[in-house]
Amino acid sequence: ERCSAAMERGSRHPVEDEDIRNDLERTFPDMPMLAPRKPQIFRILQQYAAENPDVGYTQGMNYVAATMVLKFPDREDLARRHFGEAMLQFSGFWSDGFPLLNFGVQLFARLAERHLQGLWSHLLRNGVEPLMYFPNGWLSLFGKWLPLPAVMETVDLVLECGIRGVVAATLAFFQMQQSRLLAARGMEELLELINQDSRTAPIDGALIVDVARRWLPRVDEALQATCPAG
């Protein structure tokens, strides 16, 4: 068994290595500071995929690893440890069936329908469903949604609070982008604003974290309603 598992891992490595290299070329492409750090990022992702063959490497992890390396540029050990913590907390974003993603979507939908009703209705009315944008933002831990400085601020909250932090930061993001999104018309324009344009928008990371912390009590209330004690 051990031998066959090792052979399976070995057969997957070349494909995963190529995937990682290809994705690294598209990771924060507007940030030249990342170029000399790519070997570190590659090593972290390669090691994780080898040690966790049940999950392996999935697109989005490249942004998480890049964020950690840039947060700890001279300490690959710390970058690797924090990346490992993120993978441990959020493995359900990437594992089979995406259980954490599906749970988070339901939780966000409940809160947005109640507290961001106008925006939520606008998105649905234009055919924009959560699974059209959440994989992009969440599987990269906001790397594909926010400017890099904002990602580096937000990731601390996310690691501290887990899925609660992800949902709270997402509610903060949509609240802060609400006027732009409400002015957009049609599915294509809305998805472009969420999945692409927001990365180059002047979004303040410290403000996102502050607004997200104000959302946390509502997130906790919704969680308690979803999973009542006893």
Distances from the Cα of 132 to the Cα of 13, 78, 145, 179, 192, angstroms: 29, 33, 13, 20, 11
Produce one character per residue of 199-229: b if its CB has 16 or more CB atoms within 10 Å, e if not: beeebebeebbebbbebbeebeebbeeeeee
What pTM does this model have? 0.85
Beta strands in 97-198 (DSSP E): none
Q: Model confidence over 105-149: pLDDT tens digits?
A: 999 999 999 999 999 999 999 999 999 999 989 998 998 899 888
Q: Rounded CA gap, 8 and 27, in Å?
A: 28
Residues contacting 62, CB < 8 A, separation 6+: 20, 23, 24, 26, 27, 41, 45, 140
Name the band, by pLDDT with cuts 50, 70 and 90, for residue 44.
very high
Q: What is the pLDDT of residues 159-200, one digit of tens each?
A: 999 999 999 999 999 999 999 999 998 999 999 999 887 777
**Distances 57 to 53, 79, 98, 112, 156 between C-alpha atoms, Å:** 8, 17, 14, 31, 22
More confident residue, 9 or 14: 14
pLDDT at 76 exceeding the cut of 80: yes
So what's the pLDDT on residue 9? 38
pLDDT of residue 104: 95
Mean pLDDT of the chain: 87
The alpha carbon dihedral of 204, 140, 167, 193 has a sign of positive
